[in-house]
Amino acid sequence: MQIGIFASAGMLIFSPDKNAFRFEMCFFIYLRFPSLHPVQKGKIFMTIYQTVSEIKEFSARCRKEGKSIGLVPTMGALHEGHASLIKKAAEENDVVIVSVFVNPTQFAPNEDFDAYPRQLKEDAKKAEEAGATVIFAPAPKEMYPSSDMTWVEVTGDITKVLCGKTRPTHFRGVTTVVSKLFNLTMPDRAYFGQKDAQQVEVLRRMVKDLFFNVELRILPIVREEDGLAKSSRNIYLSDAERKAALVLSKSLIHAKELVLQGENRGDILIQKVREDIEAEPLADIDYIEIYGLPGLVPVTSPLTGRNLLALAVRFGTTRLIDNIVLEVK
């Protein structure tokens, strides 16, 4: 609830018993109830919208007032990586909308949709501290009101390689929900992290092909001090798995060092990364692959230009992804 106190004009009142005038000021209290209890930080209030109609009305009002809008789509469980996106959005826009929505359509039946962390109160605090203006946290029925689905899908190899091999419907869910968020919030800019490199390339294709009037801002991977890429799924790792997972960033750095030393054969780079990871007993490799940028195009040896070295590895039941961009001259 937001509270405002307004003062009206004062008035002079004569008191016969005291043979004197007294001055009185009238006050009115204004109460505003948002769609959900707001998060309070000092004297700052941030509203959490939960319905499509509310976020559409808010976005339209911002547009009418000439304010620029930055959108940070998330599935919640916010960490420093998300915070870096929100902070950048706050630097570059008048208004920052952070969506918190665990999107069911990008999970396969055997994946961790039900177990995925949901902590809206904590997320709201972190988002506000990073500079968010409002949060959009809809229920699945708000985002998918019809029993028969309407899909937005990027086809071709770009969604079939890397994660697309084992998660064939994943990117269809991503592009569908992101297109809905773009339509609802009408952002000038949308912010994503380089850790989800394949998602970034798929969304770039979607924005290009569907003529979305939005600029995609891609920020570097945020890592722990020991090199592990920040991820909402890191909380699933046991202490031993957490320590073992450091092999991912170490193997990628090794590949970059080899490129700087003159190695430009993609198969050799993949082999060296595989050897590094296979030396860790708790690691179970899903894929290690190299594709050309932009667009995740097939590469040939010797490598040239910008290339994405990407990997996915399981530690116990937790699947982690990581990547590095190799500049080969």
How is 228-254 classified by DSSP, letter by letter? PBP-GGGGG--HHHHHHTHHHHHHHHH
Euclidean distance between CA atoms 186 and 318, whole angstroms: 35
Q: Is 325 exposed, middle or buried (0-12, 13-18, 19+ CB in 10 A)?
A: middle
Check residue 66 and give left, alpha or beta (phi > 0: left; psi -120 to 50: alpha): left
Domains of the chain: 2-32 (no CATH), 39-219 (3.40.50.620), 232-328 (3.30.1300.10)
Residues taking part in catalysis: 82
**Confidence class for position 33, pLDDT limits 50, 70, 90:** very low
Euclidean distance between CA atoms 199 and 73, whole angstroms: 12
Query: Which amino acid is present at 157?
Result: D
Nearest to 187 by CA among 72, 102, 53, 74: 72
Euclidean distance between CA atoms 301 and 95, whole angstroms: 46
What digits encode the pLDDT tens for the residues 143-195?
Answer: 999 999 999 999 999 999 999 999 999 999 999 999 999 999 999 999 999 99
Does the pLDDT of residue 62 top 50, yes or no?
Answer: yes
277, 247 Cβ separation under 8 angstroms: yes
What digits encode the pLDDT tens for the residues 72-83?
Answer: 999 999 999 999
Query: Residue 149 forms beta bridges with which residues?
Result: none
**Confidence class for position 287, pLDDT limits 50, 70, 90:** very high
Cβ-based neighbour number of residue 81 at 10 Å: 21
Residue whose entry in the numeric block shows the structure tokens 């003529």: 211
Question: Phi and psi at residue 158, in whole multiples of 5°?
Answer: -60, -30
Does the pLDDT of residue 44 top 80, yes or no?
Answer: no
